[in-house]
Each structure stands twice: as C-alpha cells, then as structure tokens.
Amino acid sequence: KTRVLTGITTSGTPHLGNYVGAIRPAIAASRAPDAESFYFLADYHSLIKAQDPARTQRSTLEIAAAWLACGLDPDKVWFYRQSDVPEIPELTWLLTCVAGKGILNRAHAYKAAVDKNRAEGEDDDAGITAGLFMYPVLMAADILLFNAHKVPVGRDQVQHIEMARDFGQRFNHVYGDEYFVLPEAAVDDFVATLPGLDGRKMSKSYDNTIPMFAPRAELKKLIAGILTDSRMPGEPKDTEGSALFQFYQAFASKEQTAAFAQAFADGIGWGDAKQQLFERIDAEVAPLREKYEALMAKPDEIEAILRDGAARLRAAHATPALLRLREAVGLRDLS
Ligand code: ATP
C-alpha cells in the first residue's frame, strides 16, 4: 500500500484554504483502495509560529473536528496529534545529528526571515528561534518515522520534502541499511491555493482567513470582503487574477465555472458575483458545518478519538520503528 501523510498546523481556526488544499483532497485520496493514510495535527509545529497556549488548544480541537466533519473515518486511517507520539521528537534528534546545517541555512522559511532582517537593517538572526531553523528536521521526522511514500504539498513545501529525503538518505548511508523510505512530494496542480482577504496566501498565522465553518451570516460578510477591482456592473471583468473567480472555481463543477466566466465577460456586478459565490460555498459546507458544530459540542469525544489513534499508531508503527533506530545508532536497547 502507498502511505500518504498530511498534517495541518494547529496555529488557528481551519480555513477554506485548508479545506480546498488539504482536507478535501486528502479525504478523497484516502478512499483509494491502495492507500494507507496518515493525518495528523501538527501541534509541535504550531509552537514555531504561535506561542499562545489557549489558541493552540482551541485550534487542535477545531482542526480535529474539521477532519471528522469532512468524513475522516478514524477506524480506516491513522489520525493522531503529533505531540501524542513522543517517538517523533526523539527521531527529530537522531535526524538532527545527520542533517547538514548548510542545507537548513537554505530553507525558504529561514531564508525569508533572514532577508527580512537584512531589509530592516537588523542582525541576520535577530528574533529567529532555533525552532524556525530546525523546522525541516521535525517535518522530516513526521514523514520518515512512518516511511510515508507520498506527501501531498503545495509548491512552497517541495523543498522540505527534498530535505527529508536528504536526511533519510544520509541516515541510511551512515548506518548502513535501508532504514527509511525516501518520500516523494505529490504536487497536484489542480488543487488551488486560495488567496486570503488581504491578497496574500490564506494562512492561519496571517489572520486573513475565511474560517471553514464560519456561521452563514459571517461567511457572507467575509465573502463580501474578498478583494476586487473597481469595475462597475455592466463592464466586462477579468477572470485572470480575480480572487473571487479563484474561490468560485475551487467550489464549482467545470460547467458552473464556465457559466461564471461567461457572467464575468457579460459584466456581472461584484455584488451579484459575491452572492453567487456565497451560495456555492455555503451549499458545499452547510452539511459539514452542522456535523462540525455537533462535534465541537463534545470535545471529550474528540479527545478520546485522538488518544486512541495515537495509542494504536504507536503500538503498530512508531514504537517498533524507534526501537530499531535506537539500536541502529547504538543507544540502549529498550525492548
Ligand atoms: P500556518 O499559517 O500555520 O502555516 P496555514 O493555514 O498556512 O497555516 P498549514 O497548516 O501549514 O496552513 O497547511 C495545512 C495544509 O493546508 C497544507 O496541505 C497546505 O498546503 C494547505 N493550505 C494552507 N493554506 C492554503 C491555501 N491558502 N490554499 C490552499 N491550500 C492551503
């Protein structure tokens, strides 16, 4: 079976970008008969960006409920919270000791932070934590511990998967066996990256999102805030570069999208276009929202599902894998 792994950082409320870019395709992929799916809540990762305990906890619950509401079946896939699996940080250290520092220096997220400091006349590493610097190693551990074959990611994450391959390969080479499968990035060009309300990528940590399960009235208000140009009703509109059109496309069939493009050419007013978009999105998320709200009313049940998922995963995969790796590097045998 092909092992496919997807994580969402518990850094805020899940949004339409997470739904379109990760949750919806991951759940569809998990139904393929030859797939073994791993879905996790990346709460160690969230500490890099959001050092707000209440936010992390709320986000963990919300993202778990979002996966479940969208049809994840915890009996058929591996569903767990990263910090419930202590083998992940332990493997992170083993990999840290084979990871080239020069490779980490080139990681996009770290380089972007250094560039920002330079532009502002600060020291290169001002305000940058070792957590941000080491983040690709933690991500490599997430993937390599379970010997995942495929990691569906956006283009911006391809570099991190290459790093995971590099660290895995070095470990295999140094310790002389095929301990790790080398993972591949699966970039799906049909999966959209949704823009946020400020025009940057929609992202939990930018606070520019449309929450996946915003109540109807709020959803409508947020959609009204999507950026458009100032063309008047009756003037033809460009679909190219239109955030509104990108959203519509992500929630509509080919035929519906073609009709919407025609309406743009015919000069639909932005108010009408936003109303149509709202109806389209609401039609898809309304049934999920109901399930989500019911789940959020029972946090203990969500918690029990997560704990059970991690316990089973540790017994089946994580603990035996780590015993073998400890032995490989010469640490005390715990078995
Ligand atoms: P953070 O700000 O903490 O990075 P995020 O909301 O940008 O959060 P992640 O939790 O890092 O997203 O990513 C989870 C998944 O959601 C990834 O598979 C990512 O590709 C997808 N995703 C995130 N943002 C978008 C977006 N705007 N459009 C499409 N997919 C997205």
Q: Domain limits of the chain?
A: 2-100+138-193+299-329, 213-294
Q: Hey, what are 275's tokens?
A: 């109303």
Ligand 1 atom 13, closest CA: 8
Place of tokens 């496309």: 249
How far separated are the first and last CA of the chain, in Å rounded?
Answer: 28
CATH 1.10.240.10 holds for 213-294: yes
Q: Ligand 1 center to residue 203 CA distance, Å?
A: 6
Q: Ligand 1 center to residue 331 CA distance, Å?
A: 37
Ligand 1 pocket, CB under 6 A: 8-9, 11, 17-18, 20-22, 49, 153-154, 193-194, 201-205
Ligand 1 atom 11, closest CA: 9
Instruction: Spell out the SS3 assignment of the chain.
Output: CEEEEEEEECCCCCEHHHHHHHHHHHHHHHCCCCEEEEEEEEHHHHHHHCCCHHHHHHHHHHHHHHHHHCCCCCCCCEEEEHHHCCHHHHHHHHHHCCCCHHHHHCCHHHHHHHHHHHHCCCCCCCCCCHHHHHHHHHHHHHHHCCCCCEEECCHHHHHHHHHHHHHHHHHHHHHCCCCCCCCEEECCCCCCCCECCCCCECCHHHCCCCECCCCHHHHHHHHHCCCCCCCCCCCCCCCCCCHHHHHHHHHCCHHHHHHHHHHHHCCCCHHHHHHHHHHHHHHHHHHHHHHHHHHHCCHHHHHHHHHHHHHHHHHHHHHHHHHHHHHHHCCCCCC
Q: How far apart are CA 209 and CA 299, in angstroms?
A: 24
Give the model's pLDDT for residue 83. 98
Mutate to test the pocket of ligand 1, among 8, 38, 156, 200 (most ligand atoms within 8 A of CB): 8
Mutate to test the pocket of ligand 1, among 4, 63, 203 (most ligand atoms within 8 A of CB): 203
Atom of ligand 1 nearest to the CA of 18: 16
Q: How far apart are CA 43 and CA 180, in angstroms?
A: 24
Contact 38, 29 (CB under 8 A): no
For residue 1, what are the CA distances in angstroms to 36, 159, 210? Answer: 6, 25, 35
Q: Ligand 1 center to residue 41 CA distance, Å?
A: 12
Ligand 1 atom 14, closest CA: 8
Taking the CA atoms of residue 239, residue 240, residue 245 and residue 248 in that order, the dihedral angle to the nearest 10 degrees is 110
Atom of ligand 1 nearest to the CA of 12: 3
Place of tokens 């250094």: 114
Ligand 1 atom 25, closest CA: 17
Q: Ligand 1 center to residue 80 CA distance, Å?
A: 18
Q: Ligand 1 center to residue 201 CA distance, Å?
A: 9
Q: Identity (one letter) of the amino acid at 184?
A: E
Q: Ligand 1 center to residue 9 CA distance, Å?
A: 8
Q: Ligand 1 center to residue 8 CA distance, Å?
A: 7
Give the model's pLDDT for residue 32. 87
Q: pLDDT (tens digit, 0 to 9) for every residue of the chain, 335 residues total?
A: 999 999 999 999 999 999 999 999 999 888 888 999 999 999 999 999 888 999 999 999 999 999 999 999 999 999 999 999 999 999 999 999 999 999 999 999 999 999 999 999 999 999 999 999 999 999 999 999 999 999 998 888 899 999 999 999 999 999 999 999 999 999 887 788 999 999 999 999 888 999 999 999 999 999 999 999 999 999 999 999 999 999 999 999 999 999 999 999 999 999 999 999 999 999 999 999 999 999 999 999 999 999 999 999 999 999 999 999 999 999 998 87
Choices 3.40.50.620, 2.40.30.10, 3.40.190.10, 1.10.260.40: CATH for 2-100+138-193+299-329: 3.40.50.620
Give the model's pLDDT for residue 334. 85
Using a 10 angstrom Cβ sphere, with 0-12 exposed, 13-18 middle and 19 or more buried, the burial of residue 155 is: exposed
Give the model's pLDDT for residue 205. 83
Give the model's pLDDT for residue 169. 98
Q: How far apart are CA 244 and CA 222, in angstroms?
A: 12
